[in-house]
């Protein structure tokens, strides 16, 4: 579902990604950990067409991100095509980014109706199923400001799922939450993993990585330092940088 080959990204002279290689299979949950500034968010943003890769190749679902192949010619995607591609990938951020002036239900059906042209009745039916799935059936009429951070984040997950994404990206989805609200969000993500969603999750929740992750990647300074089975990497990290990082977060 995701295949990165020597992915590079720089901002001016600042090299942020210095050759990322990794593969995420369909149905796999990959957890990415690493210190602040190591390029985790930048990498997710490249997958989701929010940044352009400067070197190497990045494929999502077999297609080169940002390009389209016709015969033996390769074209850069136009903005409208990028929007369509982006709508196939769900992204959940640290901040929930819900539309404050819309009810929970309207937040969820906005893109399916506005972008995909779904009928409102069908989108609403689906939205209510998704709200049920994240444990918020009773909140359809609420406004974001009336919800806890954890509830808002679960609405954000339901909203992303409403577009039927083939891949879900999570960028520190629980980092902005009060500790007692983290569990409900992780539970919703765990359920999603169980249902077979392909997920790339940047998080400091090591318990989630151990329990739910199929693979764990430790990034530092724009490279993948170490990766493997989460249980094995966490129990027996091979690199000094991984050991140093884990000793701080465990
Ligand atoms: P992480 O998510 O691992 O904390 P980021 O991907 O957010 O790391 O950032 C990696 C580095 O790239 C940081 O040094 C950050 O300052 C820099 N960076 C990120 N976005 C930009 C940008 N739009 N312009 C310039 N530098 C950026
Ligand atoms: Mg980040």
Cα of 43 from ligand 2 centre, angstroms: 9
Q: ipTM for the complex?
A: 0.97
> Closest Cα to atom 21, ligand 1: which residue?
11
Tell whether the model's pLDDT for residue 136 goes beyond 80: yes
As a whole number of Å, the CA-based R_g of the chain is 18
Residue 231 in 3-state DSSP?
A: helix
Starting from the CA of residue 40, give the closest ligand: 1
> Closest Cα to atom 26, ligand 1: which residue?
11
37 lines ligand 1 (CB under 6 A): yes
39 lines ligand 1 (CB under 6 A): yes
User: How confident is the model at residue 69, as a pLDDT?
Assistant: 83
203 lines ligand 1 (CB under 6 A): no
- Rounded to whole angstroms, the Cα distance separating 205 from 29 reads 14
User: For the segment 191-222, what is each residue's pLDDT rounded down to a tens digit?
Assistant: 999 999 999 999 999 999 999 999 999 999 99
Starting from the CA of residue 34, give the closest ligand: 1
Mean pLDDT of the chain: 96
Q: Can you tell me the mean pLDDT for 117-133?
A: 97
Tell whether the model's pLDDT for residue 96 goes beyond 80: no
Taking phi first (over 0 means left), then psi (-120 to 50 degrees means alpha), and beta for anything else, what does residue 27 get?
A: left
Closest of 79, 17, 8 to residue 50, by C-alpha: 79
120 Cβ partners below 8 Å, 6+ apart? 109, 113
User: For the segment 15-62, what is each residue's pLDDT rounded down to a tens digit?
Assistant: 999 999 999 999 999 999 999 999 999 999 999 999 999 999 999 999
Q: Please, is 120 exposed, middle or buried when counting C-beta atoms within 10 Å of its C-beta (0-12, 13-18, 19+)?
A: exposed
Percent of the chain with pLDDT over 90: 92
Cα of 37 from ligand 1 centre, angstroms: 6
50 lines ligand 1 (CB under 6 A): no
Asked whether 68 and 77 are in contact (CB, 8 A), the reply is: yes
Q: Which of 7, 12, 33, 41 to mutate to test the pocket of ligand 1 (most atoms within 8 A of CB)?
A: 41
Least confident of 71-85, 126-140, 234-248: 71-85
């Amino acid at each position: 579902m995701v295949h990165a080959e020597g992915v590079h990204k720089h901002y001016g002279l600042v090299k942020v990604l210095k050759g990322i290689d990794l593969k995420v299979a369909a149905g796999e949950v990959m957890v990415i950990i690493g210190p602040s500034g190591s390029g985790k968010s930048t990498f997710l943003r490249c997958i989701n067409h929010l940044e352009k890769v400067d070197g190497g190749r990045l494929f999502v679902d077999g297609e080169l991100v940002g390009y389209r192949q016709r015969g033996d010619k390769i074209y850069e995607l136009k903005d409208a095509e990028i929007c369509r591609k982006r709508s196939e990938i769900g992204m959940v951020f640290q901040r929930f980014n819900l539309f404050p002036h819309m009810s929970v239900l309207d937040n969820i059906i906005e893109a399916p109706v506005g972008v995909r042209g779904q009928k409102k009745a069908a989108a609403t039916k689906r939205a209510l199923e998704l709200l049920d799935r994240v444990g918020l059936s009773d909140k359809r009429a609420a406004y974001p400001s009336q919800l806890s951070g954890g509830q808002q984040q679960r609405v954000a997950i339901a909203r992303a799922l409403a577009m039927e994404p083939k891949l879900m990206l999570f960028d520190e989805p629980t980092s902005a939450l009060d500790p007692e609200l983290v569990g409900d969000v992780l539970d919703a993500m765990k359920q999603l993993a169980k249902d077979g969603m392909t997920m790339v999750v940047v998080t400091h929740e090591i318990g989630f990585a151990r329990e739910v992750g199929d693979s764990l990647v430790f990034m530092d300074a724009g490279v993948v330092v170490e990766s493997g089975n989460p249980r094995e990497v966490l129990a027996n990290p091979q690199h000094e940088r991984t050991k140093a990082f884990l000793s701080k977060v465990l």
